[in-house]
Structure 1
Amino acid sequence: MSVGLWQTPEPTAQPTLVKTLVIGAGLIGSYLALQSKAEVVLDARHVAGGASGRNGGLLLTGIANSYQAACAEYGRDLAQALWRTTIRNRELMIEWATKLGSPVRRCGSLIFAYSEQEHAELAAAASMMHDDGFATEWHAEDPTNRGFWGALHNPDDGAIQAALLTEALLRESGATLYEASEVYALESTADGVLVRARTGNWLAQQVLVATNAWTGLLLPEFGSLVIPARGQLLATAPIEPILVQACYCDYGFTYFQQTPAGNLVIGGFRNRAIAEEQTFADCTTPIIQELLDGFLQRHFPEAADAPIERRWAGTMGFAPDHRPLVGRLRRDERIGFAVGFSGHGLGLGLVAADELLAELAGTPATLFSARRFSETNHLFV
């Protein structure tokens, strides 16, 4: 997250000229590289090294809030648009994964009620979703008999191996990837945007930023608009099949699935240590891992003695209203961005990237436009 003087090329070295350069080799950056025909992709780490390779792998209808809560927060029209956008994004993810031979499965999802209060909210949400034409089924009792209060079933949802899809998209793009190539400065010049990175300098006519949690470290405009938030997970060794669907509960703070190989993957409990989890570090912590262990033992007793094969963490980037930020910088309109996915890069990322590309082509972004935060600071066009 910083670059030393001795780690960079000589300042007099001539930059390489490119038309389009993408910063960030995660899911969104790789898709942007493909759709924009970018020549170069730079990443501080490696492809899918951030949240794109460290997530729960779920393709879900909606966002973390229930449909009822989203309608209350955003208004019913915007909430409905968000839900339909996640469906469109889900289908786009499945389409690309299928086309590129990346693992994906349409297994349905269960949004479990983790408390009596959440049960009431999900029941109301199911009714509202039905009224608005969404295919969903409400179970007033836990259909899996695992100690939950009830569940909302979305039959068309699924699960995906996002790291492999990210790699496949980047390969398909034909762009040249520079790993371990942290960008430490973007300088506006008359001839283009000078991109300074560990591995070299580039002069680009267009720069697309897809750095999510790390955006504020490169672009000061996002210092208070994209906040890091760590998510922690564990995976058991492969066990016999016990779970079909992709699963969510506790208002999205806990999520789980069983992979085709048999690993039971459980993530979450960030809400039990919000301040501690507001970090760029991707190490695990005892308090969260113990909570994940407890969840495994309570709700999956047949897997309680299974060896834990892996524990890991990944850092997400959260926007103030939990909606992605798409647009261009006012100080240099040649710099575009799609960031702040708020834990829903798999659920909204490709559509948000398409919205950015449409904006760059002259159609203003709407649903995710960063202009909603620009009324007073005028940072974005």
Structure 2
Amino acid sequence: MAMQISIWEKETFFAHQDVVIIGSGFVGLWSAFYLKKKNPKLKITVVEKGVIPSGASTRNAGFATFGSLSELVWDAQTMGTDKMLEVTEMRFKGLQRIQKYFGKKEIDFEPCGGYELYEENIVSTEKLKENIAYANTLLKPITSAKKTYRLADEKISELGFGKTKHLVETKLEGYLHSGKLLQALLQKVQGMGVAVMTGIEITNINSTDKKIELTTNQPFNFSTDQLLVCTNAFTKTLLPELDIVPARGQILLTSPIKNLPFKGTFHSNEGFYYFRNLDNRVLLGGARNKAFADEATTDLGTTDFIQHELEKYLAEVILPHFQNQYAIEQRWSGIMAFGAEKTPIVKQVSDNVFCAVRMSGVGVALSPVVAQQVAGMMRD
């Protein structure tokens, strides 16, 4: 027999809401935060299908990044310079917002700087210097730094990398603990009066003249005046018309390594490989460019092929001097959302239905800015 809802539950937990947000990842929670800041009297419920956010928010590498040099150069070529700068500025401002609202110790944030590795025959020294000068000129109004990037080849040997011809450094990146950031954000919005309910999947959206009715996989439904969809890579189940392609990012984590010589965030191959030192362990992710079609999935598993590619990169490039000194202790994946371009989709979909999705793998940085944008579109 199906569970019956009591009058007390009907008038509290399942009462009609001013706003329901689907998805309790970074974008969903930041959106609740900005909506409450705009109008503290709003009744807001965030609904999450997983026990915890099940996409990418807590399954990433914990980078506080606005983009590697080669990624931004490529984006300028494919999206146009103006759109590249627009997205980069959003990312940079997002990182500043995180630091405004959360202390470094609270989220393990460390402004450690970032690097990009270039292997032999990827780009000439002259072209790389040209790209650095080009990017520095464009980014100065955003970062206020005379040199956002600089050539740092002198550090290659001390960091111990193999197959690396050039190294580009920025002092403006860092890393953080994704789980602690999400927990801190969750506690902040709950303290503002936002209800967050997990284990509930929205299976249908029905808009009427007076309200929006949400069917769930549980023996109860929701109704709301306004709906905000923040489900990123999983959005097409509810809004199939949007240009969203899921992209699985696989990750591995080594055992602790004595005398690990590097610290910071590291990128290579236009951001398709990324790694960092996490408590003297190497956290390495990426390689989906080796199997784009297979990795365009919402399956949260890992594959032997991609994991082999990651292990190969780990041994040949990151740890060539540490053979047989480590083991792989953990493997996992997260699901990102991409599309024809890297600009987020932030818009009104229909009457009183909005979305803020497609973070293109940089949701940590983009989410505070995207959330404020969509909150500004919605009624008080």
Relative to the length of structure 1, the TM-score reads: 0.85
Q: Work out which of the residue numbers 40, 46, 52 in structure 2 matches 1:47.
A: 52
The question of whether the paired residues in 2 share the 8 Å contact of 1:232 and 1:312 is answered with yes
Q: Which AA in structure 1 matches 2:201?
A: E
The question of whether the paired residues in 1 share the 8 Å contact of 2:104 and 2:110 is answered with no
The question of whether the paired residues in 1 share the 8 Å contact of 2:174 and 2:265 is answered with yes
Q: Work out which of the residue numbers 331, 340, 345 in structure 2 matches 1:311.
A: 331
The residue aligned with 2:40 is none
Quote how far apart the aligned CAs of 1:156 are. 1.5
1:359-378 aligned at under 5 Å gives the runs 359-360=377-378
Quote how far apart the aligned CAs of 1:8 are. 9.1
Report the secondary structure of 2:221's partner residue: strand
Please report the RMSD computed on the Cα atoms of aligned residues, expressed in angstroms: 2.5
Matched, 1:324 2:330: no
Query: Which region of structure 1 is more displaced relative to structure 2, 90-99 or 265-274?
Result: 90-99
Q: Which AA in structure 2 matches 1:243?
A: F
The question of whether the paired residues in 2 share the 8 Å contact of 1:138 and 1:152 is answered with yes
Q: Work out which of the residue numbers 178, 189, 208 in structure 1 matches 2:228.
A: 208
Q: Which AA in structure 2 matches 1:158?
A: G
Q: Work out which of the residue numbers 125, 139, 143 in structure 1 matches 2:155.
A: 143
1:150-161 aligned at under 5 Å gives the runs 150-161=166-177
Quote how far apart the aligned CAs of 1:256 are. 0.2
Q: Distance in 2 between matches of 1:220 and 1:141?
A: 47
Matched, 1:76 2:81: yes
Q: Work out which of the residue numbers 123, 133, 140 in structure 1 matches 2:129.
A: 123
Report the secondary structure of 1:190's partner residue: coil
1:21-60 aligned at under 5 Å gives the runs 21-37=20-36, 39-60=44-65
Query: Which region of structure 1 is more displaced relative to structure 2, 211-220 or 298-307?
Result: 298-307
Report the secondary structure of 1:156's partner residue: coil
The question of whether the paired residues in 2 share the 8 Å contact of 1:142 and 1:149 is answered with no
**Unmatched 5+ residue regions in structure 1?**
1-5, 363-381
The residue aligned with 2:19 is 20
1:1-381 aligned at under 5 Å gives the runs 16-37=15-36, 39-62=44-67, 66-98=71-103, 101-118=106-123, 122-132=128-138, 133=140, 134=145, 135-139=147-151, 141=153, 143-145=155-157, 146-147=161-162, 148-174=164-190, 175-199=194-218, 200-222=220-242, 225-240=243-258, 241-259=260-278, 261-298=279-316, 299-304=318-323, 305-329=325-349, 332-360=350-378
Report the secondary structure of 2:156's partner residue: coil
Query: Which region of structure 1 is more displaced relative to structure 2, 70-79 or 25-34?
Result: 70-79
Q: Which AA in structure 2 matches 1:58?
A: F
The question of whether the paired residues in 2 share the 8 Å contact of 1:108 and 1:245 is answered with yes
The question of whether the paired residues in 1 share the 8 Å contact of 2:68 and 2:116 is answered with no
The question of whether the paired residues in 2 share the 8 Å contact of 1:20 and 1:207 is answered with yes
* Percent of residue pairs bearing the same amino acid type: 25
Quote how far apart the aligned CAs of 1:245 are. 1.2
Q: Which AA in structure 1 matches 2:32?
A: A
Quote how far apart the aligned CAs of 1:312 are. 0.6
Query: Which region of structure 1 is more displaced relative to structure 2, 119-128 or 248-257?
Result: 119-128
Cα gap change, 1:256 to 1:68, in 2 (>3 Å): same
Q: Distance in 2 between matches of 1:21 and 1:100?
A: 32
The question of whether the paired residues in 2 share the 8 Å contact of 1:296 and 1:303 is answered with no
Report the secondary structure of 1:117's partner residue: coil
Relative to the length of structure 2, the TM-score reads: 0.85
The question of whether the paired residues in 1 share the 8 Å contact of 2:106 and 2:180 is answered with no
Cα gap change, 1:118 to 1:210, in 2 (>3 Å): farther
Quote how far apart the aligned CAs of 1:208 are. 1.2
The question of whether the paired residues in 1 share the 8 Å contact of 2:113 and 2:171 is answered with yes
**Unmatched 5+ residue regions in structure 2?**
37-42
Cα gap change, 1:307 to 1:78, in 2 (>3 Å): same
The question of whether the paired residues in 1 share the 8 Å contact of 2:111 and 2:172 is answered with yes
Q: Which AA in structure 1 matches 2:359?
A: F
Q: Which AA in structure 1 matches 2:56?
A: A
Q: Which AA in structure 2 matches 1:263?
A: R
